[in-house]
Amino acid sequence: MVLASPNPITSDRILSTTIELPVVDLKGDRSVVSKLIVKACEDFGFFKVINHGVNQETIATIEEAAFGFFGKPMSQKKMAAPVYGCKNIGFNGDMGEVEYLLLNATSNSSSILHHISNVPSNFRCIVSAYTEEVREVACEILELIAEGLGVPDTSLFSKLIKDSESDSLLRLNHYPPLPIPPIHHCTTDWDNSSNKVVGFGEHSDPQILTILRSNDVPGLQISLQDGLWVPVIPDPSAFFVNVGDVLEVMTNGRFASVRHRAMTNSQKSRMSMAYFGAPPLTARIVAPPVLVTPQTPSLFRPFTWADYKKATYSLRLGDTRIDLFRNRKDF
């Protein structure tokens, strides 16, 4: 789920050479893996996960079901509102070239797709099976992060999304093929450096972390600190992990939530499935004592996840919402 930044990156420069993004093998030695994940989060706020343990049949089944839903006539898809959306991707007028399903991903969700009457009856089970497996990956990664940071309670982060009241979400994004327009209309978010339309604009994810999987169509780009956009080579067999705003706060700024965007393809549909691991609304978001010292004082004031969501509803997609909770002395 994206909400929104006061200082968005405005550069459209795309890296022309290949950059090696971190790849983490979850089947590797645990102590080594935890260190690799921490370094990836510090350097990029982003990494690729292989040998994640999620059943490939589970992945293929939900992708097939998603393509089936998005292939329906618009009149039928609109019947799935409010979990179905098209083009409107924010709370304050942000638009994109994307249609999506935004679903509650908590395990106790009694009617995860109760708004959708025009999809196969087993769609609910398909989504539930996928979210359960991906949640396990998210929890394992968060526990490895805690270990790598030296946090005494290694479940400190993971228990927030294991909680039955977790506000986690699953978003299925479909980017239909979008031919290059002969004229760049002012209503189209156009990237001159790549000659592509921006399907989902620049943003960071507000939650703890995101577990992203897409088909073999490229489109995802992440931003480096110098403003360069780095195209991410798709890998349908792997997952990509984004550091979210909450994890930046809970690591006292040691990690930075990665800014990213999605581009459209002129010939092929791109499907992405994003699991947003989030805490309960009442959870208090604060860095653990081990990460707050006289040398590294607290960068953010404590808040609840509900506070954070409420404060960001007035912002645009690209706004740096995390600055609203930064201690003033750090500006």
Question: What residues are annotated to the active site?
Answer: 270
Taking phi over 0 as left and psi of -120 to 50 as alpha, with beta for the rest, 87 belongs to left
Q: Is 312 helix (H, G, I), strand (E, B) or coil?
A: helix
Angular region, 51: left φ>0, alpha ψ -120 to 50, beta rest: left
Angle at 90 between CA 87 and CA 92, to 5 degrees: 110
Q: Which of 30, 164, 57, 58 is nearest to 107 (CA)?
A: 164
Residue 166 forms beta bridges with which residues? 280
| CA nearest to 250, candidates 299, 201, 214 | 299
- 37 contacts 24 by C-beta, under 8 angstroms: yes
290: exposed, middle or buried (Cβ count in 10 Å: 0-12, 13-18, 19+): middle
Beta bridge partner(s), residue 153: none
